[in-house]
Amino acid sequence: MSSVSGSGERLLAILDLFTEARPEWTPEEMMSALGYSRPTLYRYLKTIREAGFLVSLPGQGYTLGPRVTELDYLMSRSDPLVAESGPVLKRLAARHPASVFVTRWYGRKILCVASEVSNPAPKSSYPRGRPMPLGRGAISRVILANLPKKQQMELLADLPEAGIEVADLAPVRQTGVSIAYGEVTEGVVGVAAAILTEDRVPIAALCVTSNLADVDDARLTEIARDVRAAAREITDALRGDIAQSA
């Protein structure tokens, strides 16, 4: 059993190499990064390639394959978070000229799973599938604020660049909304609220980002109110889906 688990972790480690900044890898680069022997790496690459997760061209490196696209298509059609948030995103985007998106939080990553853009010239836009930094911005703060204190401290210890203190998170938890100015993109203000399970565990967040020059204090207050209400609407809808399927 441990060998199977170890093999699974090694297979996933190969896939984890591929990022927006580094979408292509040669076998030699993989061996250097992961420390695998050549026979071991090529055995894993054969398995992953045959499953469609990687493709390669003669003399070139490996890139992600069609199976990834297929799984994303299935997820977009089956993920209840995407289904329930779609109308909400459209409504918020129609009300405020901004980029509006829902993100899932898992491990040390925040990933956009659905978005709507109504600002004709956005400074910040995160399409589906693009990861966001954990440790900066309104989304990170609202996720962290809704975690138990011990977990907050553990995550922040791994994110020294975040510059966030546990004490900074209490007001966010109390108000249910986080506002961050230029932490992810200069000239952009982000407003986020958490989407919670029945046990008040954050699984996702709803965020509206606006060009700072486009919003005054009154508009920002409206956005914060709407984001908080919309996140609650999605939360309630997801809980209803779970109750109906039980």
Question: Does residue 121 share a domain with residue 56?
Answer: no
Maximum C-alpha span of the chain: 63
Per the DSSP assignment, residues forming a β-bridge with 106 are 109
Question: Does residue 201 share a domain with residue 169?
Answer: yes
pLDDT in tens, 20-47: 899 999 999 999 999 999 999 999 999 9
- Amino acid (1-letter code) at residue 186: E
User: What CATH number is associated with residue 136?
Assistant: 3.30.450.40
Residue 86 lies in a domain: yes
Residue 74 lies in a domain: no
Question: Does residue 235 share a domain with residue 128?
Answer: yes
- Amino acid (1-letter code) at residue 57: L
Which of 69, 94, 122 delimits the end of a domain?
69
Question: Does residue 136 share a domain with residue 46?
Answer: no
Residue 192 lies in a domain: yes
Which of 69, 87, 109 delimits the end of a domain?
69
For position 135, what pLDDT does the model report?
78
User: What CATH number is associated with residue 28?
Assistant: 1.10.10.10
Question: Does residue 160 share a domain with residue 193?
Answer: yes
- What are the strands, taking DSSP E only, across the chain? 54-56, 62-64, 99-106, 109-117, 131-132, 178-181, 188-196, 202-211
Local confidence band at 5 (pLDDT 50, 70, 90 cut-offs): very low
pLDDT in tens, 218-246: 999 999 999 999 999 999 999 886 545 54
Per the DSSP assignment, residues forming a β-bridge with 80 are none
Question: Does residue 111 share a domain with residue 58?
Answer: no
Domain span at 180: 79-245
Let me know how long the chain is. Answer: 246
Question: Does residue 86 share a domain with residue 64?
Answer: no
Local confidence band at 102 (pLDDT 50, 70, 90 cut-offs): very high
Given a cut of 70, whether residue 215 has pLDDT beyond it is yes
d(CA 114, CA 72): 12
d(CA 162, CA 136): 6
Higher pLDDT among residues 93 and 129, named by residue:
93
Given a cut of 50, whether residue 3 has pLDDT beyond it is no
d(CA 190, CA 234): 19
pTM greater than 0.75: yes
